[in-house]
Amino acid sequence: MVGIILASHGGFAEGIHQSAEMIFGPQDEFESCILKPDEGPDDIKRKLNEAVASFDDQTEILFLVDLFGGTPFNQAASLVADHKDKWAIVSGMNLPLVIEALSQRFTVETAKEIAQAIVPVGNEGIKIYPEVVSASETKEKTLADNKKSAKIPEGTVLGDGKIEYVLARVDTRLLHGQVATGWTHTTHPNRIIVVSDKVRQDKLRTNMIKQAAPNGVKVSVAPLKNMVKANNDPRFGETRALVLFETVEDALATIKAGVDIKEINLGSSAYKEGKVNVTKALSFDQTDVDAIKELQNMGVKFDVRGVPSDQPANIDDLIRSAEKKLAEKK
């Protein structure tokens, strides 16, 4: 595995390191080094050497640094000079770039290949909201959108005519960092579908969800009836869908309506009055418990994880914990 070291002026590298693991889960061979205001080049070089020495495999090392030509970059470059065939540096570090590097090393075995792959993602992660575009860009985008949305004749069968559900997740936050990065990179969908009558009626929230779309993945916000139509429409046969539900009840209603989902990833369920905490991320009330049990009776399996690297929790243990705590509240 390629070792990754973040380096920066001040605490920037430590902050991004923490943010990346919050989204992607704890990582091996992943360190951060910072240059404090009262430190000099020798100090950051010593820290970089210590980080390299902490790795089990030091063959391939990728340094991600904040500023080209700055002291962290220069000291990393002095180390890379002796390993030019194996080590590499990318400057202009941001969170999308770091997350992409962590994702790439699952399938890519060299630092230089990862370096080449992550730069476009880092650039793409820089956006303006509300979006500001020139008249020519608007025209080009409209033409491209029109081409993409050219209507496929009804009755056309694409692929095997059925949506492939790569992940169905219950998450109060819907599309956020853990989903847009960790789960998207793990399951490789070409479309994310948020199924919610409530969210579909909220234009602002719908737009914000679409703005959070990962690179190369389409995002739709659909009411339940439209999700059922899409499920039965053979024109969606080449769709690899990551489906997001705000609640277990929404998932139950969708599956009862005929959408062919066999497993649910239970990611988060926010606390509110009447619920009890069963984990840091999950809170249930009796309605939630009843919905989970009904889904189990229908043969639906549960995968209880926040991020792909988490150890799955046992859903039956969580149900028993919730029922005990709910009974104590009465």
Report the pLDDT value the prediction gives residue 192, as an integer from 0 to 100: 95
For residues 80-104, give the mean pLDDT: 93
Report the pLDDT value the prediction gives residue 144, as an integer from 0 to 100: 54
Q: Which residues contact 290 (CB under 8 A, 6 or more apart)?
A: none
For residues 172-187, give the mean pLDDT: 84
Q: For 234-263, what is each residue's pLDDT tens digit?
A: 999 899 999 999 999 999 999 999 999 999
Among 84, 43, 38, residue whose Cα is nearest residue 61: 84
Backbone angles phi, psi at 303, to 5 degrees: -115, 105
Q: Alpha-carbon distance 23 to 12, whole Å?
A: 17
Does 17 participate in catalysis according to the annotation?
no
Q: Which residues contact 182 (CB under 8 A, 6 or more apart)?
A: 23, 24, 25, 307, 308, 309
Report the pLDDT value the prediction gives residue 13, as an integer from 0 to 100: 96
Q: For 119-147, what is each residue's pLDDT tens digit?
A: 988 998 888 877 665 555 555 655 555 55
Report the pLDDT value the prediction gives residue 140, as an integer from 0 to 100: 60
Does 176 participate in catalysis according to the annotation?
yes
The residue from 83, 176, 185, 188 that is catalytic is: 176
252 and 243 in contact (C-beta within 8 Å)?
Answer: no
The residue from 9, 17, 83, 185 that is catalytic is: 9
* 302: Cα separation from own chain's centroid: 19
- Whole-angstrom CA distances from 109 to 3, 60, 72, 115 are 10, 8, 25, 11
Domains and CATH numbers, the chain: 3-124 (3.40.50.510), 158-329 (3.40.35.10)
Q: Alpha-carbon distance 220 to 190, whole Å?
A: 11
DSSP state of 235: G
